[in-house]
Amino acid sequence: MLVRLFALLIAMAMLSGAASAQFGKPKPTPKNADEYFAERAMRDAARLTFGAEDRDIIRPSDGVDLARAERRMEEALVIFDKLCTDRSLPQDQWARNCFSLGEMYRRGNGTVQDYAKAKTYYDAACLEGRHPEACMQQAYTSQKDEDGSVDLEHARALYEQACSLKDPGGCAGLGNMMYMGLGGRRDRPTATRLLQESCASEYAWACTRLTEYGLPTRLDRF
């Protein structure tokens, strides 16, 4: 009897572990050697240019090496491009590399600043790769005219995708646009709920919007 009970307890523990693995939040795919190399190259570039933005004249003794930093960023760019393009990789892995590639084009790191190319990689990471940070960055760029053009419908679609991925900032951005009727139809009841849920998730910007709109910051569940 004791043996059967012990076996039953082991089986239940195994089933519990399997269930948590099946329904829990999936762990990100581990980084490969190329990713680690690219990230190290970016850290090297940051170290080689530390403080350069605050100096009118750069001397050899300052420890700033702009040419070498540029080469290191170019090396990172090549790797991020390769990993972003390789769709045989797990989705979260190629998507995060597309996001990194978009970041480099948006900032002009290791390449000429190019918002159009950055958008291509952010969109791929967001809409195909389900990468919330990529959704948020391009949504902000499309909404705030950072690149010289405004596309409110696109910004709203990206916020909606981020919200569907449980990102409180995405739900706040979508709620704000829905409340104002930006990029699509106005839906203030849904917008209020989204902003309140984001505020409840301690996303301060959503709480601020609710206060500015004269709305309660707490969810009305009754």
| DSSP calls for 148-215 | S---HHHHHHHHHHHHHTT-HHHHHHHHHHHHHT-SS---HHHHHHHHHHHHHTT-HHHHHHHHHTT-
Which pLDDT belongs to residue 129? Answer: 98
Question: Both 204 and 126 in a single domain?
Answer: no
Same domain, 172 and 70: no
* 92, 129: one domain: yes
Q: What pLDDT score does 24 carry?
A: 56
150 Cβ neighbours under 8 A, 6+ residues apart: 142, 143, 144
Asked whether residue 186 is domain-assigned, the answer is yes
Question: 181 and 112, same structural domain?
Answer: no
Q: What is the block-wise mean pLDDT of the chain (222 residues), using blocks of 10 residues?
A: 44 46 72 97 91 55 79 97 98 98 96 96 98 97 82 97 97 98 97 97 96 87 40
Question: CA 189: distance to chain centroid?
Answer: 27
- Give the total number of structural domains in the chain: 2
206 and 124, same domain (yes or no): no
pLDDT of residue 51: 65
pTM to 2 decimals? Answer: 0.83
The domain boundary, picked from 147, 165, 183, lies at 165
* Same domain membership, residue 191 and residue 95: no
Q: Which domain holds residue 116?
A: 32-51+61-165
Q: Are residues 109 and 209 in the same domain?
A: no
Cα–Cα distance, 166 to 197 (Å, whole number): 11
